[in-house]
């Protein structure tokens, strides 16, 4: 084989390798351009649409046509709280037993560990006389006067110092039975938010009934997304139904909420179910 023949054979063998190398380079380049080499990180967005729709439906419910409705929901998952929904949030309303949140939260900081069993029973089972007793005991400690008036004054000052706006708030008793009590949904949310910095927060949190499992919520919302995810104080007197507490949602969001209805028509059992339906949607986000 002469020199020219060898040269042709070498070129013939080298050509496929050159083409293969070139295709590989082209593939890598096109893949990089298409973003296949390094997959893009997916952005996770939270949708509150279902929750908002559920609470909007409450506003238009015929059963609540003549009622006063107020609520506030705040997402506290991140460092900065975000208001998710609010409706008449600053309007003072009859709170029923959600008022006990203000009494028991303050009692824990005034009396410490010794009061934990009393607070737990008061919140879990919503025992009215125990809450009234705690209020008067606070009055005795702060003003040396074990009266409802002294206790109410001490509690208002306590929460004001915590950063809660108490304008329009009225403590007529220490248990929520009176229709003369007045607290807004926002004031309830603000108190629950402020309690997060308390050295007794975990005790306070665990003293609240757990949906479908304990206290006044033990039979409520069983088998739903809310079971084991909502810790809340409940309130019920004639034509008044309220809830206020904390939620750890299905997607891992942490919320604080309050929901109050005054002067509704119809049976409290029916209204309670409607409100619980909205709370279930809240826990399911």
pLDDT digits (tens, 9 = 90+) for 85-138: 999 999 999 999 999 999 999 999 999 999 999 999 999 999 999 999 999 999
Report the distance separating Cα 267 and Cα 166, nearest Å: 32
Q: What is the pLDDT of residues 4-24, one digit of tens each?
A: 444 444 444 444 444 333 333
pLDDT at 266: 87
Answer whether residue 38 shows pLDDT above 60: no
pLDDT digits (tens, 9 = 90+) for 145-187: 999 999 999 999 999 999 999 999 999 999 999 999 999 999 9
Bridge partners (DSSP) of residue 262 are 68, 240
pLDDT at 208 over 90: yes
Contacts (Cβ under 8 Å, ≥6 apart) of 121 = 127, 130
Which residue, 119, 125, 114, 244, is CA-closest to 192?
A: 244
220-268 pLDDT, tens per residue? 999 999 999 999 999 999 999 999 999 999 999 999 999 999 999 989 9
**Rounded distance, CA 147 to CA 135, Å?**
8
Alpha carbons 109 and 89: distance in angstroms, whole number: 27
pLDDT-derived band at 46 (thresholds 50, 70, 90) equals confident
In sequence order, the 6+-apart residues with CB closer than 8 A to the CB of 116 are 108, 200, 203, 207
**What confidence category does residue 45 fall into, taking pLDDT thresholds of 50, 70 and 90?**
low
> Does the pLDDT value for residue 56 go beyond 90?
yes
Residue count of the chain: 285
Reading the block at residue 281, the tokens are: 């949607």
Phi, psi torsion values for 16, nearest 5 degrees? -60, -35
- Pick the more confident residue, 32 or 271: 271
């Amino acid at each position: 084989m002469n020199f020219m023949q060898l040269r042709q054979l070498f070129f013939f063998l080298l050509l496929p390798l050159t083409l293969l190398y070139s295709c590989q380079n082209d593939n890598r380049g096109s893949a990089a351009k298409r973003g296949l080499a390094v997959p893009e990180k997916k952005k996770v967005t939270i949708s509150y649409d279902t929750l908002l729709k559920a609470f909007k439906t409450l506003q238009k419910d015929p059963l609540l046509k003549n009622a006063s409705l107020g609520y506030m929901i705040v997402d506290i998952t991140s460092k900065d709280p975000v208001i998710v929904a609010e409706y008449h949030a600053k309007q003072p309303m009859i709170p029923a037993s959600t008022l006990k949140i203000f009494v028991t939260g303050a009692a824990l900081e005034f009396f410490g560990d010794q009061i934990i069993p009393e607070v737990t029973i008061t919140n879990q089972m919503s025992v009215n006389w125990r809450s009234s007793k705690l209020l008067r005991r606070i009055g005795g400690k702060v003003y040396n006067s074990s009266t409802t008036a002294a206790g109410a004054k001490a509690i208002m000052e306590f929460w004001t110092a915590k950063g809660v706006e108490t304008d329009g708030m009225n403590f007529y008793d220490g248990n929520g039975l009176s229709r003369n009590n007045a607290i807004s949904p926002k004031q309830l949310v603000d108190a629950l938010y402020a309690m997060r910095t308390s050295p007794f927060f975990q005790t306070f949190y665990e003293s609240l009934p757990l949906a479908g499992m304990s206290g006044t919520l033990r039979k409520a919302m069983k088998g739903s997304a809310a079971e084991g995810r909502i810790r809340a104080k409940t309130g019920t007197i004639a034509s008044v139904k309220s809830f206020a507490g904390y939620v750890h949602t299905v997607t891992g969001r942490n919320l604080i909420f309050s929901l109050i209805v005054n002067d509704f028509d119809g049976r409290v059992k029916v209204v309670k179910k409607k409100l619980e339906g909205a709370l279930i949607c809240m826990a399911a986000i």
